Amino acid sequence: MFEKVSKWRANNQARREFQDKMKQENRLPPGQRTTFKFPVIHIGTVPDFDPDSWKFSVWGAVENPIQLSWSEFQALPRQKLKIDLHCVTQWSKFDTHWEGVSMSGLIESGLITPKPEATHVIQIAEKGYKTNLPLSIALQDNFLLATHYDGKPLEPQHGYPLRGVMGHIVGRDDLEDVYLWKGAKWLRGLKFTTKDEPGTWEISGYHNEGDVWREERWGRRWNK
């Protein structure tokens, strides 16, 4: 028992020291605290994955709606990304490593061509979960359709086989940062729209924009 308490105290001290360091480097947003863990937060149970029937769809305000199988998605050009994650529940995890497909890469390759009037991208996930992002933010370098975390395929509880992820790139203060819920786990498609549409948590009262540095967590309900 004494050893467990001592270990907890040592870990907590290390976390606090690291948190102070992140504050000094202006990497810890207001209201956040650091963690060395990767907390698991989602609605309901983890969905099953069948690689033979899984499909990824893109539709809406695009010139060329597409549907990709899992093998076709895996063959898309990939990139790696190092970002700080900030969850609306107030934890922050720093220097996380991801791999996947960028939205800008899909468009630059010609695989997806948004119509000129497209303004937003709605991520559609398993069990009807969805979340909204302005197209301008989805095209930033800090948004990724991720298949791997820390050099390995995503774990089921973190969104396997595909999730949207968004975070802060150190030194890129030109990019907008939003809370982690704005990247959907178990992603199945992207709907391009000509106007904003609320997602699951936005309808429930989370802030529609979710800017990390402005601490836009909740309190602004969706207005039609």
The answer to whether residue 222 scores a pLDDT higher than 80 is no
Confidence grade of residue 2 (pLDDT, cut at 50, 70, 90): low
The full 3-state SS of the chain, as one line of letters, equals CHHHHHHHHHHHHHHHHHHHHHHHCCCCCCCCEECCCCCCCCCCCCCCCCCCCCEEEEEECECCCEEEEHHHHHCCCCEEEEEEEECCCCEEEEEEEEEEECHHHHHHCCCCCECCCCCEEEEEEHHHCEEEEEHHHHCCCCEEEEEEECCEECCHHHCCCCEEEECECCCCCCCCCECHHHCCCCEEEEEEECCCCCCHHHHCCECCCCECCCCCCECCCCCC
Higher pLDDT residue, 133 or 4?
A: 133
pLDDT in the model for residue 12 = 82
For the segment 46-70, the average pLDDT, to the nearest whole number, is 97
Looking at the fold, whether 18 and 56 belong to one and the same domain comes out as no
Looking at the fold, whether 107 and 1 belong to one and the same domain comes out as no
Confidence grade of residue 4 (pLDDT, cut at 50, 70, 90): low
Looking at the fold, whether 88 and 196 belong to one and the same domain comes out as yes
pLDDT in the model for residue 218 = 85
Looking at the fold, whether 79 and 179 belong to one and the same domain comes out as yes
Looking at the fold, whether 67 and 2 belong to one and the same domain comes out as no
Confidence grade of residue 43 (pLDDT, cut at 50, 70, 90): confident
In a domain, 11, yes or no: yes
In a domain, 177, yes or no: yes
Looking at the fold, whether 81 and 192 belong to one and the same domain comes out as yes
In a domain, 168, yes or no: yes
The answer to whether residue 158 scores a pLDDT higher than 60 is yes
In a domain, 221, yes or no: no
Looking at the fold, whether 152 and 68 belong to one and the same domain comes out as yes
Looking at the fold, whether 19 and 84 belong to one and the same domain comes out as no
For the segment 184-198, the average pLDDT, to the nearest whole number, is 97
For the segment 126-130, the average pLDDT, to the nearest whole number, is 94
Looking at the fold, whether 197 and 121 belong to one and the same domain comes out as yes
Query: Among residues of the chain, what percentage have pLDDT more than 70?
Result: 93
In a domain, 184, yes or no: yes
Looking at the fold, whether 2 and 52 belong to one and the same domain comes out as no
User: How many domains would you assign to the chain?
Assistant: 2
In a domain, 191, yes or no: yes
For the chain, report the end-to-end CA distance as a whole number of angstroms: 55
In a domain, 57, yes or no: yes
Looking at the fold, whether 2 and 110 belong to one and the same domain comes out as no
For the segment 147-159, the average pLDDT, to the nearest whole number, is 97
Domain that holds residue 63: 47-203
Looking at the fold, whether 162 and 70 belong to one and the same domain comes out as yes
- Look up the CATH number of the domain holding residue 123: 3.90.420.10
